[in-house]
Structure 1
Amino acid sequence: METMKIFAASILWYPLFLVPALIGFVPFGFIHRDDKRFVKSDFLALTVPWLLWLVLMAIFSTGKKSLSNLVEAVVVGGIVAILYLALSIALRNEKINRTLGNQIVCVLGCMASFLVYYFTPGLPE
């Protein structure tokens, strides 16, 4: 039952991740708007790390972490923003595949999501 409450509240939690992530994605979009249209891999890194963090919170943190740990979503969003800014710089300076770069951002975002969840202790409410 606790897991269902977490998934139901996740609609309200997504902006905690999305707003910091957009801080890095919006400049990326403006800089690379002439390259081509946005593809699925552009938006994958805006959802997959958050979904991984959400699943970790729903399954493994029942009774261990409180709602104070929602700050983890903000941290993961900030890390994704930094990764998008780094990808933007890499695409400008090097001739790398944009889809591959987005997939790298997604994988690194997922790793950051897992590490932030794992190393952040349960905060008191």
Structure 2
Amino acid sequence: MKRDLSNLLLAMLVLFLVANCGTGPDPEPIPQTEILEIRLTPDTAAVGDTVLIHCVIEDSLDERFKFYWSLDEERLIPINGTITGPKIRWKASGFEYLEAGEVTIVGGDVRVDNGSEDSVAVTKLIDIPVKQVD
């Protein structure tokens, strides 16, 4: 009887170890690409002017990627007829209240997604300096 109880306990221990083997924290999601940099041309937008924003990614030749810009949509100006490409123009309007020489920072972000279900889209914050030049 003692032997049967020992075998039962051993079997239960083995089942417990097998059931819990490999559990732990979920693995980190795999990013679809890497955002290398955000280029602003010019690096500071004058009030009323536009700035070209270019999101440079590691897989720049992969045409599946779409770029979702989280900036005021009424200020976005399409490049080549689209606002989901790696480049966008943004108009620095509505900042006429700034004093001459004063700079404000407008924040937003860009999300880059190729639609893949086995990896995750990547996002990067954008800071656009806007300066009153008058």
Q: Under a length normalisation based on structure 1, what TM-score does the superposition of the two structures give?
A: 0.31
Instruction: Give the strand-richer structure, 1 or 2.
Output: 2
Compare relative contact order (CA 8 Å, sep 6+) and give the higher one, 1 or 2.
1
Q: Under a length normalisation based on structure 2, what TM-score does the superposition of the two structures give?
A: 0.30
Instruction: Give the helix-richer structure, 1 or 2.
Output: 1
**Which structure is larger by alpha-carbon Rg, 1 or 2?**
2
